[in-house]
Chains A and B, each alone.
Chain A
Amino acid sequence: DGGITQSPKYLFRKEGQNVTLSCEQNLNHDAMYWYRQDPGQGLRLIYYSQIVNDFQKGDIAEGYSVSREKKESFPLTVTSAQKNPTAFYLCASTGLTYNEQFFGPGTRLTVL
């Protein structure tokens, strides 16, 4: 089955630790995205990448970093500089038409 996988589903970290969230897709999509969702709110764009080895900041990139070394993978690192990292993180990808974004199941990060 083609799709997007995110792991783990739940993640707990201590304050001050960096943590990396995984996102993999086997849809052969060029563009990938990371969004953050807080309770009762919509999604906000953190980073996006339209091609391997290139990525751009979204609306709330501070305290986050990404890499795009392979077309299939777009990991997100939540650094200790992110002041309020507890949230639901969603990865998405889209093909050449950019019409439909496919979303992964999300990772719920809790920083203790």
Chain B
Amino acid sequence: DAKTTQPPSMDCAEGRAANLPCNHSTISGNEYVYWYRQIHSQGPQYIIHGLKNNETNEMASLIITEDRKSSTLILPHATLRDTAVYYCIVRVADGNSGYALNFGKGTSLLVTP
């Protein structure tokens, strides 16, 4: 699976949009971009995933650049409960390693009042 690079930490004011970047310059054509988050001492939670089109759900939006070498997760109106570590993961869809996820260190997002 391709390697991802994320900033170690970011701050965001409550009510503002949080834009979390991820670089995946070696991504292959059959690799998806996944985002998960982990609130302290809990299990990770799925947020969103995409291949090449932008995606939106009730939690967030995922913007993938045209060359697919980077992406941005957008939390449109961050709340204090969005404080967590956010993981950007690139994974093939062909069943290698049983579709297990390769978590890096992620970005620690702090939402402040």
Contacts and interface: CB of A to CB of B under 8 A. Distances in A.
Which size bracket describes the interface of B in this complex?
Answer: 20 to 34
Interface of B: 36, 41-46, 49, 87, 93, 95, 97-106
10 contacts: A33-B98, A41-B105, A42-B104, A42-B106, A43-B101, A56-B98, A58-B100, A90-B43, A98-B95, A101-B101
Contacts, number: 56
A105 B99 contact: no
A48 B41 contact: no
Contacts of B46: 100-102
A98 B99 contact: yes
Nearest to A30: B98
A43 B93 contact: no
A78 interface: no
A21 to B, nearest CB: 13
Interface string A37-65: 00011111100111000001010000000
A40 B105 contact: yes
Contacts of B95: 98
A76 interface: no
Given A48-B98, A50-B98, A98 B103 contact: no
Nearest to A98: B99
Given A105-B43, A106-B43, 8 more contacts: A4-B43, A33-B100, A42-B103, A45-B97, A50-B98, A90-B44, A98-B99, A102-B46
